[in-house]
Amino acid sequence: MKSRRQVIIILGAMPHEVEAMVASNTLVPKSSLVQKIILHPIADTRYDDSTLQIQYEIGTELGVATLLAKAILAKVVLHISGAELDFATNVLKRFSSFDFGYISSESSLSEEELENIVQDCEEAQKCCIFLGNAFAYHKDKELIYEVVRLLSKVADIPIIANNNALDMPDLAFLDRLESSLEDLPESNGAFVYFTPNALDIGDYRIYATKQFLALAKSKNGDKITLKNQNMPYENISYEVVEVPYLRGVVGVAQGVSQSASMDFYPFNTLQSVRI
The enclosing domain of 258 has a CATH number of 2.40.40
So what's the pLDDT on residue 171? Answer: 62
Which of the 8 DSSP states describes residue 269? E
Choosing from 182, 212, 233, the residue where a domain stops is: 182
pLDDT at 260: 60
Residue 124 within any structural domain of the chain: yes
Given a contact cutoff of 8 angstroms between Cβ atoms, the answer to whether 272 and 224 are in contact is yes
Query: In this structure, is residue 138 part of a structural domain?
Result: yes
Helix/strand/coil for 209: coil
Question: Do 115 and 202 lie in a common domain?
Answer: no
- DSSP string of 114-143? HHHHHHHHHHSSEEEEEE-HHHHTSTTHHH
Examine the domain organization and report whether 110 and 156 are in the same domain.
yes
- Residue 250: domain span: 191-273
Q: Which of 182, 216, 231 is the last residue of a domain?
A: 182
Q: Are residues 135 and 18 in the same domain?
A: yes
Residue 168 maps to which CATH number?
Answer: 3.40.228.10
Residues 76 and 164 in one domain: yes
The dihedral of CA 144, 115, 118, 28: what is its sign?
negative
Put residue 37 in one of left, alpha, beta given phi > 0 → left and psi -120 to 50 → alpha.
Answer: beta
Same domain assignment for residues 151 and 20: yes
DSSP string, 3-34: -S-EEEEEES--HHHHHHHHHH-TTS---TTE
Phi and psi at residue 182, to the nearest 5° = -75, -15
How many other CB atoms are there within 10 angstroms of residue 121's CB atom? 24
Residue 107's pLDDT is: 95
My answer on whether 150 and 242 are in the same domain is no
Residues 82 and 162 in one domain: yes
Domain stop point among 182, 209, 236: 182
- Give the pLDDT of residue 261: 66
Q: In what order do the strands lie in the sheet with 223-226?
A: 267-269, 191-194, 250-254, 205-208, 237-242, 223-226, 272-274
Same domain? For 63 and 98 the reply is yes
Is 146:169 a contact under the CB 8 Å cutoff? yes
Residues 128 and 178 both lie in one domain: yes
Mean pLDDT split into 10-residue runs, the chain, 275 residues: 77 80 63 82 80 92 96 91 89 94 95 94 87 89 88 83 54 80 83 73 84 89 77 75 89 73 79 58
Residues 141 and 249 both lie in one domain: no
239 occurs within a structural domain: yes
What is the distance between the alpha carbons of residues 142 and 4, in angstroms, rounded to a whole number? 34
What strands lie across the sheet with 34-39, from one edge to the other?
A: 51-54, 34-39, 6-11, 126-131, 159-161, 164-165
Whether residues 172 and 199 share a domain: the answer is: no
Provide the pLDDT for residue 201: 60
Please indicate, yes or no, if residue 1 is contained in any of the structural domains.
no
Segments in the chain forming alpha helices (H):
15-24, 61-76, 82-95, 100-107, 111-123, 133-136, 141-154, 174-180, 210-216
Look up residue 60 and give its amino acid: T
pLDDT at 227: 73
